């Protein structure tokens, strides 16, 4: 029986509060990775000390430090750190490559179930666990609702062939949406697996130095870059604002979109745009059907 070989790259920056959860949950996996490169992107806290402590417990962990640049680069910085780690593993013989955040709690059978899914469906190109984040009045862990076929950036697993066909990850915010669309364009299936419940301990957009304004402006910029329907962007803008009862969310999303429009930022190709618009129509039908069939 052939065992699928995993290589994992974890870009991290100042994650002393959460990275031990990720490290300990990786060491208890029923299927261990061939290599795990943890790229410290200039941490100024105790992140490096925690990683080095766990390196003594597992020989598959490798630590790579990048000089502190003094500021965050949302999206782009993560991809740059990812590729610094990729240089360490690109010549290894592996089946699956993962970009994994350093603030996750993974079930012990995560890699085993990912491997099983790839083996059972040779057309599956990108997969990940279903993400849960704290929210609501009681701050309980709640499922993060995402469009069908989307896999959130915190835990992404790519079949090697798929990763190579899509040209890897683009070095900008929005990489974790572009990759799944490009995978679909190449005929690969993508999506989260309901059998894997992953706890995201530090929700997206809450990193120090980011905050609500920057996170929402980034969403607007990404929407402009991807060239989907403008009405779809407006629906998402209104939906997010209403869900969180915060009109500032919509304001900052629109600000990010218009700022990119004003500066005529680079955008995706016409073929990507056409395919994305078809996906957005399907997503809208999916959301409407989900709402219509929600238990009252």
Share of the chain above pLDDT 70, in %: 93
Parallel, antiparallel or unpaired: strands 140-143 and 124-135? antiparallel
DSSP letter at 146? Answer: -
Per-residue pLDDT band at 293 (split at 50, 70, 90): confident
Top CATH class, 6-200? alpha beta
Q: Evaluate if residue 70 carries a pLDDT over 70.
A: no
Q: Which of 208, 238, 231 is nearest to 280 (CA)?
A: 231
pLDDT of residue 37: 98
pLDDT of residue 136: 57
Per-residue pLDDT band at 289 (split at 50, 70, 90): confident
Which positions ≥6 away from 46 have C-beta within 8 Å? Answer: 16
**pLDDT tens-digit readout, 210-255:** 678 988 999 999 999 999 999 999 999 999 899 889 999 999 999 9
pTM of the shown model: 0.89
- Across residues 80-106, what is the average pLDDT? 97
Q: Evaluate if residue 290 carries a pLDDT over 90.
A: no
Q: Which residue has the higher pLDDT, 167 or 284?
A: 167
Q: Which of 179, 164, 13 is nearest to 86 (CA)?
A: 164
Which positions ≥6 away from 205 have C-beta within 8 Å? Answer: 211, 212, 214, 215, 216
**pLDDT tens-digit readout, 118-176:** 999 999 999 999 999 986 566 788 898 888 899 999 999 999 999 999 999 999 999 99
**pLDDT tens-digit readout, 254-274:** 999 999 999 999 999 999 999
Q: Evaluate if residue 62 carries a pLDDT over 90.
A: yes
The residue whose two tokens read 């979109």 is 257
**pLDDT tens-digit readout, 175-210:** 999 999 999 999 999 999 999 999 999 876 555 556
Where in the chain are the domains? 6-200, 211-292
Q: Which of 189, 159, 119, 132 is nearest to 7 (CA)?
A: 159
Q: Which residue has the higher pLDDT, 96 or 3?
A: 96
Which positions ≥6 away from 296 have C-beta within 8 Å? Answer: none
Q: How far is CA 130 from CA 6, 48, 64, 180, in A?
A: 19, 28, 28, 15
Torsion angle of the four alpha carbons 208, 78, 108, 204, in this order, in degrees rounded to the nearest 10: 40
**Strands (DSSP E) found in 106-174:** 124-135, 140-143, 155-159
pLDDT of residue 210: 62
136: Cα separation from own chain's centroid: 22
pLDDT of residue 68: 77
pLDDT of residue 194: 94
pLDDT of residue 134: 84
Parallel, antiparallel or unpaired: strands 189-200 and 124-135? parallel
pLDDT of residue 22: 97
pLDDT of residue 92: 97
pLDDT of residue 291: 78
């Amino acid at each position: 029986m052939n065992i699928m070989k995993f290589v994992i790259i974890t870009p991290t920056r100042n994650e002393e509060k959460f990275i031990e959860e990720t490290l300990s949950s990786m060491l208890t996996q029923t299927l261990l990775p061939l290599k795990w490169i943890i790229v410290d992107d200039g941490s100024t806290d105790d992140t490096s000390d925690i990683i080095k402590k766990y390196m003594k417990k597992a020989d598959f962990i490798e630590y790579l430090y990048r000089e502190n640049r003094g500021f965050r680069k949302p999206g782009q910085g993560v991809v740059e750190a990812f590729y610094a780690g990729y240089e360490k593993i690109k010549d290894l013989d592996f089946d699956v490559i993962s970009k994994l955040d350093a603030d996750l709690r993974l079930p012990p059978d995560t890699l085993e179930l990912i491997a099983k899914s790839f083996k059972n469906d040779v057309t599956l190109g990108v997969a990940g666990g279903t993400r849960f984040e704290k929210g609501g009045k009681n701050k309980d862990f709640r499922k993060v609702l995402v469009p069908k076929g989307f896999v959130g950036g915190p835990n992404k697993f790519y079949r090697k062939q798929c990763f190579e066909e899509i040209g890897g990850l683009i070095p900008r915010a929005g990489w974790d949406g572009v990759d799944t669309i490009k995978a679909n364009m190449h005929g690969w299936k993508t999506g989260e697996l309901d059998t894997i419940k992953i706890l995201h301990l530090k929700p997206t957009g809450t990193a120090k130095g980011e905050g609500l304004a920057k996170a929402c402006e980034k969403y607007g910029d990404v929407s402009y870059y991807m060239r989907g329907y403008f009405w779809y962007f407006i629906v998402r803008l209104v939906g997010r604002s209403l869900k969180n009862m915060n009109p500032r969310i919509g304001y900052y999303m629109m600000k990010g979109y218009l700022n990119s429009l004003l500066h005529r930022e680079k955008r995706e190709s016409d073929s990507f745009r056409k395919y994305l618009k078809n996906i957005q129509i399907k997503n809208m039908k999916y959301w409407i059907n989900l709402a219509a069939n929600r238990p009252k």
